[in-house]
């Protein structure tokens, strides 16, 4: 069985994905890392040098590839479900879990990590929450098509252990 974790940047998809995979003896795949390894460039560099459209194409192609694999947990990128028919593809191929988190909490978590995110790295810290809210409003409809929504969890390591027990 395949499990796809979706949600906004910084909501904990990779952290929870790794634990979920370990706990269930599944292989863990981080879609962004898969793309970076295949192309030999960071996500930031792909956005800067080749543009978002090309990144979205790579994201779709790699999602199609992981759909051919078996027993895996996939941490997707924050935008993955929102482009092409990616969301339907995931729903058809496995269980989709949305890690829902409030803009305020996302903003707190992303403040020091926005450099690695091409969609956020030019936004001033004081505008971050407002910006997150705007993008989230555009994406919410797609995210909420997930099979399961886990809301406002604090994905710090100690809580994660509890959650997966």
CB 63 → ligand S3P: shortest distance, Å?
A: 11
Among positions 78-117, residues that touch ligand S3P (CB under 6 A) are 78-79, 117
Which among 162, 18, 34, 152 has a CA at the least distance from the CA of 98? 152
Residues in Cβ contact with 46 at an 8 Å cutoff, skipping those fewer than 6 apart: 35, 36, 39, 54, 55, 58
CB 165 → ligand S3P: shortest distance, Å?
A: 25
What is the total count of residues that contact ligand S3P (CB under 6 A)?
10
CB 19 → ligand S3P: shortest distance, Å?
A: 16
**Residue number with CB closer to ligand S3P (25 or 87):** 87
Q: Strand, helix or coil at 41? A: coil
Contact pick of 118, 133, 145, 163 for ligand S3P (by CB under 6 A): 118
DSSP, res 12: S
The answer to whether the CB of 4 falls within 8 A of the CB of 90 is yes
Q: Give residues in contact with ligand S3P (CB under 6 A).
A: 9, 13, 32, 43, 77-79, 117-119
């Amino acid at each position: 069985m395949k499990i796809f974790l979706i949600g906004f940047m910084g909501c904990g998809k990779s952290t929870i994905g790794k634990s979920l995979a370990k706990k269930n003896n599944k292989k863990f795949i981080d879609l962004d890392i898969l793309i970076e390894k295949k192309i030999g460039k960071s996500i930031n560099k792909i956005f800067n040098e080749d543009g978002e459209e090309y990144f979205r194409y790579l994201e779709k192609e790699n999602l199609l590839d992981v759909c051919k694999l078996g027993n895996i947990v996939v941490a997707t990128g924050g935008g993955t479900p929102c482009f092409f028919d990616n969301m339907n593809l995931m729903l058809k191929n496995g269980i989709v879990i949305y890690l829902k988190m409030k803009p305020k909490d996302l903003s707190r978590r992303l403040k020091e990590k926005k450099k690695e995110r091409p969609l956020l790295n030019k936004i001033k810290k004081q505008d971050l929450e407002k910006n997150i809210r705007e993008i989230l409003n555009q994406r919410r409809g797609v995210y909420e098509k997930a099979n399961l929504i886990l809301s406002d969890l604090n994905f710090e390591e100690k809580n994660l252990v509890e959650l997966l027990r």
